[in-house]
A and B are shown apart, each in its own frame.
Chain A
Amino acid sequence: MTTTTAKETSELFTPEIRAEIDRWIAKYPPEWKQSAVMGALMIVQENNGGWLTTELMDQVAAYLDMPPIAVYEVATFYSMYELKPVGKHKICVCTNVSCMTNKSDLIVEHLENKLGIGFGEVTEDGRFSLKEVECLGACGGAPMMQIGKQYYENLTPEIVDAILEGLE
């Protein structure tokens, strides 16, 4: 188990983050703090530029009275948790059947050429990363992608350009 220094604790796990995690804890029976682990990991990940470190997972474990291994299991099981750095904007492109038959491959190709990276990679300036995802439940807007919390549907290469330009 990795130990966390007091300095790191205070920097990575602020009172605001604790308050947010507490809101999740309050949703479940008092003896089931563990139920808040998914929410807690998401909050912590968001506050760390989109990915989880072992230290952060250990912190979550300590906060929820869970064995660290139980937290690692959750963090590795669910695909939205990132265990490596990602871009400031994580671009998730759906390539499942409805998107595929509406030419998601052209969207992928366009993004790869434009950004100079493939799936699972981050641009050198750290601004973008690309991820292939399964059906996001928006097949009526195929082809589609998600960046951060936002869905973008009915994509064409031109629309993709406009979307990326609009990002900070």
Chain B
Amino acid sequence: MANEVCLRTLDLERPWLIEQYQSRGGYQVLKKILSEKTAPDAIIEEVKRSGLRGRGGAGFPTGLKWSFISRNAPGQKYVVCNSDEGEPGTFKDRDILRYNPHQLIEGMVIAGYAIGASRGYNYIRGEFWEPYERFEQALEEAREAGFLGENILGSGFDFELHSHLGAGAYICGEETALLESIEGKKGQPRYKPPFPAHFGLYGCPTIINNTESLASIPMIMEKGGEWFADIGVKNSGGSKLFSISGNINNPGVFEIPMGTPFSELLEMAGGMKDGRKIKAVIPGGSSAPVIPGEQMMALNMDYDSIAGAGSMLGSGAVIVLDDSNCMVKILERMSYFYHEESCGQCTPCREGTGWLYRIVHRIETGQGRQEDLDLLDDVADKISGKTICALGDAAAMPVQGMLRHFRHEFQYHIDHKRCMVGVG
């Protein structure tokens, strides 16, 4: 059971074309909803029943998020799609945009209908030119076919959708930074509350969902929430796109049921490269705490299984590392990333990410001090939970994970001023 939801047209030739999407029943469920005038609340209930949790990283239940919007409040409301895809290791939304853009469009129109919004934006990261052009072409096709714009299919329902291009800033993946960015400002996260459901884009009620979350909606509506929930396991409904990369033979995007054993996913991805031994796995994007390889081999790819091992499923970005990797060097690179990408708005994050990077960097370069590991713990603790947005936590969690499982490797670096793996 693979490619049942977001990648269900992948086997077709030029699957991004509207005829191809329609040849698999695409836009049928939108037609049905509009012609039968399905009650918006019934749609939200169906999404709740599906157990769909936000695929952008936080795993918040999508149906519940939609129910926070007061549909009948006057004024504009917005549906915003988050295709910023910047969490290192994640490369799945790019495939949805490239290969199945119409399913995302259909999902966004249904979302608009459900929350009473007549406008939407898809925020695509600036580097994604090819996916952007595909999506733009799909928008044109959908407009021409009458699935977007005014009075869609004669139903009286209007929905206009545009894409916004980013310009290189990981922080714009954070939902309120993303809204600021659409408003033509620096992408600095807002204080919450108020949450976007009350005060979102241009101050209007807004739902923001990940590309994969929204692209899952048409199938949920077509086949029912229960069908979707049953693909997965308890607390983790549906299938999920896993972006798997690192030291493996066949990296790529795999859409498989939630709860699939990691060992099976690794096998689909061709197993370890050069017959090397698996050392560690970062299971949910670079901010997810690392899990040792043997432990990972016994886990399943669902929220609870990964959380039970002290990490998180996040965006489903699985980075597999073999025994040639020095964990100090890996952490150094990740810490550099968070320091570079901090928007600088709050002190614990701005200063703390710099400290984390400098300390790991000096350990990596043989300048580490005996007190450094405690210092790393301490700085990570001082960032966690004390910042405006979750980038602070995202920077702290990998440090905490590395020290939990690979402290000895860091200690060796400090004691011997070199790497125990023979690479760093």
Contact = CB atoms under 8 A, between A and B. Distances in A.
B389 to A, nearest CB: 15
A97 B166 CA distance: 22
Given A96-B337, A135-B88, A137-B125, A80 B168 contact: yes
Contacts of B330: 97, 100-101
Given A74-B185, A137-B85, A137-B91, A98 B130 contact: no
A38 B167 contact: yes
Contacts of B319: 97-98, 101, 139
A42 B164 CA distance: 12
A96 B166 CA distance: 19
Nearest to A149: B129
A68 B233 CA distance: 53
B286 interface: yes
B364 to A, nearest CB: 13
B187 interface: yes
Contacts of A141: 251
Interface string A14-47: 0000000000000111001011111101100000
Nearest to A33: B184
A6 B128 CA distance: 35
Contacts of A101: 246-247, 319, 321, 325, 330
Nearest to B324: A101
Contact of B243 (A29, A102, A139, A146): A139
Interface in B175-205: 181-187, 202
Contacts of B341: 134
A130 interface: no
A140 B253 contact: yes
B245 A78 contact: no
Nearest to A95: B333
B86 interface: yes
A100 B89 CA distance: 12
Contacts of A70: 184-185
A3 interface: no
Nearest to B185: A74
Interface string A134-154: 111111111000100111000
Contacts of B94: 137-138
26 contacts: A27-B162, A27-B164, A29-B76, A35-B182, A36-B184, A42-B165, A42-B167, A74-B184, A78-B187, A80-B127, A81-B167, A96-B88, A97-B89, A97-B282, A98-B319, A100-B329, A101-B247, A102-B246, A133-B127, A134-B88, A136-B127, A137-B86, A138-B94, A140-B244, A140-B252, A146-B127
The 7 closest A-B pairs by CB, nearest first: A34-B184, A78-B167, A79-B168, A80-B168, A149-B129, A139-B245, A135-B88
Interface of A: 27-29, 32, 34-39, 41-42, 64, 66, 70, 73-74, 77-81, 92, 95-98, 100-102, 133-142, 146, 149-151
